[in-house]
Chain A
């Protein structure tokens, strides 16, 4: 894809991110960080592609295999721990 177009997407997304994140209240900052950890696991898309297509030989295969494991830890662990934390936030009077 055209590099300029990609840069354009990046700039728009960065501004969007700024708007979205500044509305997250400080009490949710720790869950926010865990959730963004999970989202950064999206690098798995690139790793899966390399691993599945065997595009770069054995070394590339091994590296991408490790990358998938790391990204999967981030994704599953990140979402699961965020869920755990958010489950603890409750209003007055809420009981389990």
Chain B
């Protein structure tokens, strides 16, 4: 059966490798799914498992329960994945992260029941770690889900002594693990220690994510993704199973790399991001703005767009909220028919998870060649006739380059302000999510188009049809 697990690992590895290009990605996904099938089937041929086959008493037949659970889970997973809207992807991934973590923690807990004395030291350490990481990933992800779906306020919640409390929690968890691992302590105490470890890990996940604001969610999701992978690795150490270790490592590495990419795109260290409560800053860098931003009607905006030879769209979370991706594509088509060159500039942290905007635009049938990364688009920015900012704010704030006092100073931005004309589509005159004033709005070449982004874009597209 070890051979089957090795084959499964190979499928996972090749599957992820093929994810490096949109052309081969689907094939990669199929291979990875096939590898999973092999691994699952292999379990049922393990000699210890086949020994549980019991035809005289079906209720005690392990296969029955396994198949039942698989059927339930698969049905739920399938229906859910078909029904979810593309704008709801961050929430779905947050939930999956949580489930992955919880599944590993449950496996660890049942292994603990098998060995309540912690007699095998390395196994016992792995059990403690899996419960800790898995429970934390679960509760942290559930809170992230709550924040993303706005069941809970997306603002960072910071209270005094938060760091101290988190430290105490971590120390308590370490203590729980130690009590379980060292020999000579009675089983009752060890049981209490593990229950305490489980409870505190669950609470810790919540207190860990609470101070992180909604705008920093891409980082939280990536980090939880990584934790769910590490929980699997750790579970692999408990049952000495290499396929768990290898695939968990792949997931863990993926989460960590995405986390670091997100941090780099915000020019912040991971420590600063996790412990500073960024979204909570209600202090605003500057007092009164220099002047009122210039507003423009959609009719006037149309006249400028009509004359434009090149247009770049810069989408942000606001596009997802307004569900505007389809009308954006419609407008893009109209502009192309009018002879303009159209591209889309996607900032790494635009939206609520890595790659969020790309998926939304792909859903609206925007060909992926038109999607440009920040590095690709910035050099050509000064030659762009019009930049249309849709529901993005911090990622186009020139203060990140010029104002050392700004909280986002140093963050790489899409240089929308260098375009000849900038349209900013904005719901109202309020500040963006981070509460930072955006200089871009006051610039000479910037025109504000107030109102719902979807309505604005579709009326712009309508103007093209009418004229």
Q: How far is the CA of A76 from the CA of B92 in the complex (A)?
A: 13
Most buried by B among A52, A80, A87: A52
CA distance A90 to B66 in the complex (A): 39
How many Å from the CB of A18 to the closest CB on chain B?
5
Asked whether B113 lies within 8 Å of A48 as measured between CB atoms, the reply is no
A67 touches B106 (CB 8 A): yes
For window 207-262 of B, CB contacts with A under 8 Å fall at 221-222, 225, 228-229, 231-233, 235-255, 257-258, 261
Q: Which residues of B contact A33 (CB under 8 A)?
A: 93, 221-222, 225, 254-255, 258, 353-355
Q: Given A33-B258, A45-B243, check contact A68 B354 (CB 8 Å).
A: no
B16 touches which one: A35, A74, A77 (CB < 8 A)? A35
Q: How far is the CA of A74 from the CA of B247 in the complex (A)?
A: 14
Closest residue of chain A to B122 (Cβ to Cβ) is A3
Q: Cβ of A27 and Cβ of B355 under 8 Å apart?
A: yes
Contact check, A85 vs B86: say whether CB atoms are below 8 A apart.
Answer: yes
**Chain B interface helix/strand/loop/mixed:** helix
Q: Are A77 and B80 in contact (CB under 8 A)?
A: yes
Give the distance to chain A from B410, nearest Cβ to Cβ, in Å.
20
A59 to B195, CA, bound (A): 14
Interface size classification for chain A = 35 or more
- B13, B20, B348, B354: the one within 8 Å of A16 (CB): B13
- Docked complex: A13-63 residues within 8 A CB-CB of B: 13-14, 16-18, 20-57, 59-61, 63
A1: chain B residues at CB < 8 Å are: 240, 242
Known: A39-B36, A43-B100, A77-B78. A21 touches B66 (CB 8 A): no
Q: Given A37-B93, A52-B66, A70-B99, verify A27-B353 contact (CB < 8 Å).
A: no
* A53 CB contacts on chain B under 8 angstroms: 48-49, 51-52, 62
| A20-B13, A92-B369 known; A39-B78 Cβ under 8 A | no
The answer on a CB contact under 8 Å between A72 and B70 is yes
Report the minimal beta-carbon distance from B343 to chain A, rounded to whole angstroms.
12
**Cβ 8 A contact of B73, one of A36, A71, A85, A87:** A71
Q: Is the CB of A40 within 8 A of B73?
A: no
The verdict on A30 contacting B353 (CB below 8 Å), with A43-B104, A48-B49 known, is: yes
Closest CB-CB distance, B36 to chain A, in whole Å? 6
Instruction: Check B12 for interface membership: any CB of A closer than 8 A.
Output: yes
Q: Which of B69, B106, B249 contacts A10 (CB 8 A)?
A: B249
Contact yes or no, A49 B25, CB < 8 A: no
Q: Are B19 and A32 in contact (CB under 8 A)?
A: yes
**Docked CA distance A88–B128 (Å):** 42
Report Cα–Cα, A39/B229, bound state, in Å: 9
Question: A74 and B367 in contact (CB under 8 A), knowing A40-B229, A48-B49, A65-B69?
Answer: no
B17 an interface residue at 8 Å Cβ cutoff?
yes
Across-interface contacts of A82 in B (CB, < 8 A): 29
Known contacts A33-B221, A87-B26: A40-B36 contact under CB 8 Å: no
Give the residues in chain B near A69, CB-CB below 8 Å.
Answer: 69, 72-73, 76
Contact in complex: B36, A81 (CB < 8 Å): no
Expressed in whole angstroms, the Cα–Cα distance for A85 and B35 within the complex equals: 20
| Least CB distance, B261 to chain A, in whole angstroms | 7
Q: Top 3 A-B pairs ranked by shortest CB distance?
A: A72-B73, A17-B253, A77-B77
Identify the B interface with A (CB < 8 A): 5, 8, 12-13, 15-17, 19-22, 25-26, 28-30, 32-33, 36, 39-40, 42-44, 46, 48-49, 51-52, 60, 62-63, 65-66, 68-70, 72-74, 76-78, 80-82, 84, 86, 89, 92-93, 96-97, 99-100, 102-104, 106-107, 109-111, 113-114, 122, 221-222, 225, 228-229, 231-233, 235-255, 257-258, 261, 346, 348, 353-356, 358-359, 362-363, 365, 367-371, 373
Could you pull out 11 A-B pairs where Cβ atoms are within 8 angstroms?
Answer: A9-B245, A9-B246, A18-B253, A21-B254, A23-B17, A36-B16, A36-B225, A47-B103, A59-B110, A81-B92, A84-B82
